[in-house]
Chains A and B, each alone.
Chain A
């Protein structure tokens, strides 16, 4: 059960990371670019299992 939750969790983290990167590429406002980068960092750290 724990393994299933873990897999789902990391899939979600990966999905949100991809969304953030997609939005970063698409946006034209520099403020949002900075925002996406800052928000992306903890997601990537979690994806790499660094805490």
Chain B
């Protein structure tokens, strides 16, 4: 009798744990992130418009189109390829909620791998979400992970063989959007997603694609632009101009020809677009980090990563000030705006000009929250959810 009561007690405690953790996972997967459309957003489409097979899946994401007042070139921003690199998504968010294209056309994607935004790295103690404070309270964003949710794509193969190169990659990267380009129509969900985006890039005649990322400080490709050979001239001018005028260092790397599946390689190879990838520093991703908390994610402060720097183990500097999220997002917004300006210098007949999006210094001065719009005051029909 005594043993039965004890078992019942343990079972109830287990049930409580099950419900609490289950609710947390469920809420994380279904958290709605509001997007208050800028007056510059002229059209919102679904990715399935370009590849109907993706319809009804987690990755049938929104595509925001900002048509300019004057014609020009077309630039596409991919945010959320790796959602656990939040500066990329947030920078794209500032364009969708504030941007007004004066010349040319801008296509903004906030959740390129939407499935990956619905799961976190539990084994890495990742928090499920984070809040960006704003004058009206704050907005909660899903943190997400690097790979598509196993609930949406599984089982993983023993070895991931990239299509069409046949290159062997880690099994986990079969769910990594930035290892699945150019994708294929009869592949996995992640491969279909890459294929759908490539169809969009071709059909919309996109001139420049920018894939926004963040990197750990122990990774050599950091604080840089990675460019396909088609974009070398453009990327070099952007890199030099940012370093000269905006006060932050922006390097330049060339996309290796034999490293397959990455956006900077395959988009350039399989479409007419110039493909660029921007990297900002994110100490949260470093293996030597301390506590994995939202505070660490947003302030970019970590004494253990600083110590690694003192031992010469990092490829980017870090001190007690860390790498705050405002700095990382500001780097991305400035780099995108500078890409538009540098493109226009070379192609004055097909210009790109975006207004109302803050650059590096302004984002740092006022904070990202200042530029996030209050969904409670959004115009009817102009508030969507990611």
Rounded to whole angstroms, the CA-CA distance of A25 and B8 in the bound complex is 10
Residues of A within 8 A of B26 (CB): 50
B10 within 8 A of A: yes
Tally of chain A residues near chain B (CB < 8 A) = 20
Q: Which of B13-21, B163-171, B293-301, B353-361 forms contacts with chain A?
A: B13-21
Q: B130 interface residue, CB < 8 Å from A?
A: no
Q: Which one of B3, B22, B149 contacts A45 once the chains associate, using CB atoms below 8 Å?
A: B22
Tell me the bound Cα distance from A13 to B331 in angstroms.
46
Interface size on B, residues (CB 8 A): 21
Considering the chains assembled together, what is the distance between the CA atoms of A39 and B148 in angstroms? 25
List, in ascending order, chain A residues with CB within 8 A of B18's CB: 41, 44-45
A38: nearest residue on chain B (CB-CB)? B14
Q: A24-B7, A51-B150 are in contact. Are A41 and B17 (CB under 8 A)?
A: yes
CA distance A33 to B10 in the complex (A): 7
Interface residues of B in 110-163 (CB under 8 A from A): 119, 122, 149-151, 154-155
The answer to whether A50 and B14 have CB atoms under 8 Å apart is no
Mark B residues whose CB is within 8 Å of A. 3, 6-7, 10-11, 13-14, 17-18, 21-22, 25-26, 29, 119, 122, 149-151, 154-155
In the complex the two chains form, what is the Cα distance from A50 to B120 in whole Å? 12
List residues 12-51 of chain A with CB under 8 A from any CB of chain B: 24-25, 28, 30, 33-34, 37-38, 40-41, 44-45, 48-51
Q: How far is the CB of A39 from chain B (nearest CB, A)?
A: 10
For the complex, would chain B's binding face be called helix, strand, loop or mixed by DSSP majority? helix
Q: CA of A3 to CA of B69 in the docked complex: distance in angstroms?
A: 49
Q: Which residue of A lies closest to B150 (CB)?
A: A51
Q: Is the CB of B6 within 8 A of A33?
A: yes
Q: Are B22 and A28 in contact (CB under 8 A)?
A: no
Set of chain A residues within 8 Å of B122, measured between Cβ atoms? 51
Contacts of A28 in B (CB 8 A): 3
Chain B residue nearest to A34 in the complex (CB): B10
Beta-carbon contact of B22 and A37 below 8 Å: no
User: Is B155 within 8 A of A33, CB to CB?
Assistant: no
Quick check: A48 and B13 within 8 Å, CB to CB?
no
Are B155's CB and A2's CB within 8 A?
yes
Give the CA-CA distance A16 to B155 in the complex, in Å. Answer: 19
Supplied contacts A37-B14, A40-B14, 18 more A-B pairs, CB within 8 Å: A2-B155, A6-B155, A9-B155, A24-B7, A24-B11, A25-B7, A30-B6, A34-B10, A37-B10, A37-B11, A41-B14, A41-B17, A44-B18, A45-B21, A50-B21, A51-B25, A51-B119, A51-B122
